[in-house]
A = this chain, B = another copy of it.
């Protein structure tokens, strides 16, 4: 911040879902964890740079990336502009390795004030978008049971949902199709596996109600 342009800093709130819990990636050693971040170069676009941060942080490519908000922070080293992103990746049965760690939201370690605000905002946005987009799908593998999907919703929202209403809504939205296969899990009736319909290419279905009414 010596002269001219203020410092700019891209930070990613990277969520994943493991065993029905929503986790955030925090970078760095145990005593000073922080959101993955980088300063944008003079050549790459913001979105490209954000994507690069995800790839550097974990080996995986992100499934979903969305800009959240730009704030200014007076965090450690002076005054900076922070451009926050929300990223979602789908883990397998365990979270991918990371130079840092994955933390359950709500049980976060001590982090900077700005990082906390950004995470809160990212979570609020994610919750909101559950209601009118297919965003949750980016946290799940290609095929999944309806109970797994419902579990993801519940983990994000932090409250229980009614099973019948949930299923009815998803069916009504016509964004799922059942693979014929079942998964036999443990000692109970096997569950049907579903996948997303290719026609809804994981991005559309953004039609808030107020888009066309009196």
**Interface residues, chain A, with chain B CB atoms under 8 Å away:** 1, 3-8, 39-43, 45-46, 67, 69-72, 79, 81, 83, 128, 130-132, 161-162, 165-166, 208-211, 214
Contact = CB atoms under 8 A, between A and B. Distances in A.
Contact of A67 (B69, B130, B132): B69
The number of times this chain is found in the oligomer is: 2
B132 A42 contact: no
A72 B46 contact: yes
Contacts of A79: 42-43
29 contacts: A1-B42, A4-B5, A5-B7, A5-B39, A6-B8, A6-B40, A6-B41, A6-B42, A8-B8, A8-B81, A40-B72, A40-B81, A42-B79, A43-B79, A45-B72, A46-B70, A46-B71, A46-B81, A67-B69, A70-B70, A70-B83, A81-B81, A81-B83, A128-B210, A128-B211, A130-B210, A132-B210, A161-B214, A162-B214
A178 B4 CA distance: 51
A119 to B, nearest CB: 18
A93 B48 CA distance: 46
A43 to B, nearest CB: 7
Contacts of A6: 5, 8, 40-42
Contact of A128 (B46, B67, B165, B208): B208
A131 B8 contact: no
